[in-house]
Structure 1
Amino acid sequence: MKRVDHIGIAVRDLNAVLPYYTETLGCPLLKIEEVASENVRVAFIDAGNIKLELLEAMSEESVIFAFLEKRGEGIHHIAFGVENIETRMAELREKGVRLLNEQPKQGAGGALVAFMHPKSSNGVLYELCEKQ
């Protein structure tokens, strides 16, 4: 793992929480985009040495919707920046780590992403993130 790329935070209403991050905390909003593969709307916040990725479900089919129903708003995942995501996924599989994805998929910001199952990582959902 090269570094922590971002922390994903599940929110019910992106527009309602953005002022907290941008006005109260004073963190710049970098961009907002929709990620069709995950059925989410995402806002990237610059928190200095790390980005925060605010995740709002666009439908009830989104994993973020299910997360919010079960756990409420809060930290959803921690993303590690990696090089050559497919090689890293193979290395993790060899070490017995269960992945939620067979192949990397398109994520926010044009990155390739894959997730490690929380049962393989002490209850934490980790994302592998390769920037293009």
Structure 2
Amino acid sequence: MSGLLGTNVVTQIGILVHDIEKVSEAYAAFFGVEKPAIFWTDPMEQAQTEFEGNPSPARAKLAFFDMGSLQIELIEPDHHESTWRNYLNEHGEGPHHIAFGIKGMKDKVELLAKSGFPLQQKGEYTGGRYAYIDTFPQLKVLVELLEND
């Protein structure tokens, strides 16, 4: 497969919200599915969160809706500066990123940076890692890389 990511399969759409409880209930009612659990991202020490190259205490509440081959992620950020908080402040509620499952995170991040798509935020989660790439100027949405162990 050609292209910078080695895949063209979107696995997730991330949506920023001000009130995850309210929006989560709306999604559940709209699709006739159970409202998912809402939980906080891990603290900085565990998640090794970095925003624009610096350690960051930023966290967010998340809720995941599995919709067939695509997952919808609702994100309510805390007040700390982060990709989530800054984007929500600048653009308001709505789509933040499209995510792709990849292999070789370090190499992909370097390749994208060399191609004019800089790393914005990265961190760890149980079972893997994520990286938000600043593709907004070109794609009008951010790209998130997800690598599961």
TM tier relative to shorter chain? 0.7 to 0.9
Q: Structure 2-normalised TM-score?
A: 0.72
Deviation readout 1:88-123 (Å, 9 max, x if unpaired): 22222343432225xx5214x543111211356433
Partner of 1:88: 108
The count of aligned residue pairs is 129
Q: Which amino acid aligns with 1:54?
A: L
Cα gap change, 1:47 to 1:28, in 2 (>3 Å): farther
Given that 2:95 and 2:141 are in contact with CA atoms closer than 8 Å, whether structure 1 keeps it comes out as: no
Q: Which of these residues, 130, 133, 136, is aligned with residue 113 of structure 1?
A: 130
Distance between the aligned counterparts of 2:88 and 2:23, measured in 1? 15
Q: 1:45 to 1:88 in 2, by over 3 A?
A: same
Structure 2 stretches lacking a partner, 5+ long: 44-48, 50-57
Alignment of 1:100 onto 2:120: yes
- Cα RMSD of the aligned pairs, angstroms, is 2.3
1:40 is aligned to 60
In structure 1, the gaps of 5 or more residues are none
> Following TM superposition, by how much is the alpha carbon of 1:63 offset from its aligned partner in structure 2, in angstroms?
3.7
Q: CA deviation at 1:66?
A: 2.8
Identity %: 30
**3-state DSSP of counterpart to 1:67:** helix
How high is the TM-score relative to the length of structure 1?
0.80
